[in-house]
Structure 1
Amino acid sequence: MVQVLSSRTLIRPTDPERSRDFYGGRLGLAVAREFGTGPERGTVYFLGGGFLELSGRVQTPPDPDPSVRLWLQVPDAAAAHEELRAGGVEIVRPPVKEPWGLVEMWIADPDGLPIVLVEVPADHPIRYRPGI
């Protein structure tokens, strides 16, 4: 079995500075580390129990794969909606309680990568399991 010690999601943006402004400035993700210098430097952000790395550059954004999403859990989707909207982030879909019980809001990064912001209600089975 492979022993995984750490992991991260790697994104190669078309404009690293614009993406750093989005993830660090508008979403407010904390920087775990940076490497290299100048506008092409790599930046790794904390994502709760994981990491998001922006490094390198591509000339044109890839067509988003409909099966790939960045899933970020937040404590309050309505509050995140107001904060992001006030910060100029385009909201693809405002918070909606899904049939499976999670509250989901959709946004996209500057290159069109779909991001799902998810609130797990207190009574949802992910959090609440009677008898355990």
Structure 2
Amino acid sequence: MEVLSSRILLKPRNRQVTTEFYRDVLGLAVYREFPVGTVFFLGQGFLEVVGEGEQGAGPDVALWLQVRDLPDTLAELALRGVPIVRAAQREPWGLDEAWIADPDGTRIVLVQIPEDHPLRADTR
């Protein structure tokens, strides 16, 4: 299978509220809008908020978003009224992670890769 593009689809309980959260609160750039949805840039991927669902978030799904500076990002989000679900901490695998959630409770993992982490190593 050759994958040319990908995106995550979210069917929120209230599309307008969720779209405003990702666009206005988190500040994600809009890739495209259409009558029943909005597609946001997520670094090298996309997030599509489309239609309206009935069940909302599930405990087994999370968005993983790498940020440049986790403490600054958390401070900025706190000023915007975003509750921090779990404070930043260094995980056993060496990444710094904090959790927030969207209006439906979808967990969003904010990640900073420390400078000495193997993911930052130049493999050349």
Match of 1:21, SS?
A: helix
CA deviation profile, 1:34-76 (whole Å, cap 9, x unmatched): 012xxxx2100000000000001023425x133x211000001
Of 56, 71, 88, the match for 2:64: 71
Q: 1:8 and 1:30 mapped to 2: Cα distance?
A: 14
Match of 2:41, SS?
A: strand
Q: Which amino acid is the alignment partner of residue 83 of structure 1?
A: E
Q: How large is the Cα RMSD of the aligned pairs?
A: 1.3
Q: List runs of 5+ in structure 1 lacking aligned partners.
A: none
Match of 1:23, SS?
A: helix
Q: Which amino acid is the alignment partner of residue 52 of structure 2?
A: R
Q: Which has the larger radius of gyration?
A: 1
Q: 2:64 and 2:9 mapped to 1: Cα distance?
A: 14
Q: 2:55 and 2:8 mapped to 1: Cα distance?
A: 19
Of 75, 86, 96, the match for 1:103: 96
Report the counterpart of residue 28 of structure 1 in structure 2.
27
Report the counterpart of residue 118 of structure 2 in structure 1.
125
TM-score by length of 2: 0.94
| 2:44 paired with 1:45 | no
Q: 1:21 and 1:34 mapped to 2: Cα distance?
A: 13
Q: 1:60 and 1:71 mapped to 2: Cα distance?
A: 21
Q: 1:26 and 1:122 mapped to 2: Cα distance?
A: 28
Q: 1:4 and 1:76 mapped to 2: Cα distance?
A: 30
CA deviation profile, 1:3-40 (whole Å, cap 9, x unmatched): 1110000000011111011101111100000012xxxx
TM-score by length of 1: 0.88
Count of matched residue pairs: 124
- After TM superposition, what 4+ stretches of structure 1 lie above 3 angstroms from structure 2? none
Report the counterpart of residue 17 of structure 1 in structure 2.
16
